[in-house]
Amino acid sequence: MKSPFLEMLKDEMYQRHYAKRTIQTYLTWISSYIHFHNKRHPAQLHNLEVEQFLSHLVLELDVAVSTQKIALNALSFLYAEIIEKPLSLKLKYVRSIRQQKLPVVLTQPEVRALLNCINANYKLPASLLYGSGLRLMECIRLRVKDIDFDYKSVRIWNSKGGKHRVVTLADNLISDLHKQVVLVDHYLTTDIANPNFSGVWLPNRLRVKYKSATNELGWQYLFPSSRLSIDPETKKLRRHHLDESGLQKAIRTASKHAEINKNVTPHTLRHTFATHLLQSGADIRTVQDQLGHADLRTTQIYTHILQRGGNSVISPLTNLF
């Protein structure tokens, strides 16, 4: 049986135009918080119970810093926006100190083998992950108009931190992208003939400003789902984008078939893009701009991959024999 409280939370977040992924994440953490406190209603709990839960995540589950922050964000939303009793700014809980892992990076032959083994339906988005350094959801949420064929670039809107950026587009993907646009156009023509079709989903402010955009080719998802579905926000029939789990699974499967003995995920291709750019002579600030990092220190982690033995130190064992 579904929780009426969690269903209310979900509806409230949809009305506030939160992203579907954010809604799912927040609901997961709020549900975990409620179960941790023996299903007591959050209105009966506050600062002390939140501190206990956040400390539990570190002491018992050993979560990373970012995971603990996401849980705190979910609970902060719950108390500030729903219960209308904001949490203290001076919460006292055990903070995660887990070190950030060094990124897994593929060699060029490994990338080639991976793309040769991947399911044909996922090869183009996987190629963009590596060729343009995109995050998984940045790639999945691309619209047709985001591909600039004239300037060979990809426009990323409202990415992490709400930022926009322009990234490079590989020449050898242009032909396949044109074919993809033709496929999207075919879907759109078929969908418009369906009297129940309500056009592609648009954020509320764009939906109001561009009232006819929902049926325009440029606003359609570049990688559409193969079937129509009901939009949980508006309850209307739409064609959503490709499900990200399909691409994740395709990359894992291709990695096994290519016999790559590394933990390969979609984000591995983004790490590899950054490392290979630096290897080819790009300066670190260019890489920072391409990745959309706010802090240069985040980008500098890729320099560790290139430094032989750490800070270019040559092991004394090298000259021993």
Residues classed as catalytic: 135, 160, 267, 270, 293, 302
The C-alpha R_g of the chain, in whole angstroms, comes to 23
Nearest to 238 by CA among 198, 184, 190, 193: 198
CA atoms within 13 A on the CB side of 6: 18
36 Rama sector, left if φ>0, alpha if ψ -120 to 50, beta otherwise: alpha
Structure-derived torsion over alpha carbons of residues 38, 44, 47, 49, reported in degrees to the nearest 10: -10
